[in-house]
Structure 1
Amino acid sequence: MTREVSDKQETGERPDLEHLDAAVSHVDHLVSTGGIAAGAAKGILYSLIETLGAFVGDPDLPEHARSGYQGLLETARELRARL
């Protein structure tokens, strides 16, 4: 983990959308190559979906950012459904 991400977590800021997108993409890659057990992938996706859902529900989130989080949330849900 980079120091930049750690600093954001310590101050309570949201992680960048790119980091969450990379996490979903990484899980998708591992599932498609058989590099992770389905149960483990479901657990990771559950956490990502819960996190993204909390961000989308935040009334202080700007609308332009909300649409990005919503799109990623749908992608994570679709991946979970494939498992």
Structure 2
Amino acid sequence: MTRDVPDKQEAGERPDLEHLDAAVTHIDTLVSSGSIATSAAKGLLYGLIETLGTLVGDPDLPEHARSGYEDLLESARELRTKL
């Protein structure tokens, strides 16, 4: 099987902030509507928080991008606290 579009992780690129933001928002929506178990939401948030923490800790990350990831990390932590 051939892939026409290289995987971002293989190319060494960071995941898009918009996609990570959408993931946190989606989890929040599911929790608010009761469509997901709390333990499942916590597990998903754990993975997102770990990913965002790694991105924020990257010394090669430009400062303007770091602030966006930091804000999203804080939002994910607040959602985890809410659970």
Is the TM-score greater than 0.5?
yes
TM-score by length of structure 2 reads 0.91
C-alpha distance in 1 between matches for 2:66 and 2:73: 10
TM-score by length of structure 1 reads 0.91
> For each residue in 1:52-80, what CA deviation from the matched residue of structure 2 results, as whole angstroms up to 9, or x when unmatched?
00000000000000000000000000000
User: Which of the two has greater helix per residue?
Assistant: 1
1:36 has 2:54 as partner: no
Q: Which runs of 5+ in 1 are unaligned?
A: none
C-alpha distance in 1 between matches for 2:40 and 2:65: 29
Aligned residues: 80
RMSD (Å) for aligned C-alpha atoms: 1.4
Q: CA deviation at 1:15?
A: 0.8
> For each residue in 1:23-66, what CA deviation from the matched residue of structure 2 results, as whole angstroms up to 9, or x when unmatched?
00000000000010000000000000000000000000000000
Percentage of pairs with the same residue: 75
Runs of 4 or more, structure 1, over 6 Å off, are none
**1:13 maps to which residue?**
13
Q: Which runs of 5+ in 2 are unaligned?
A: none
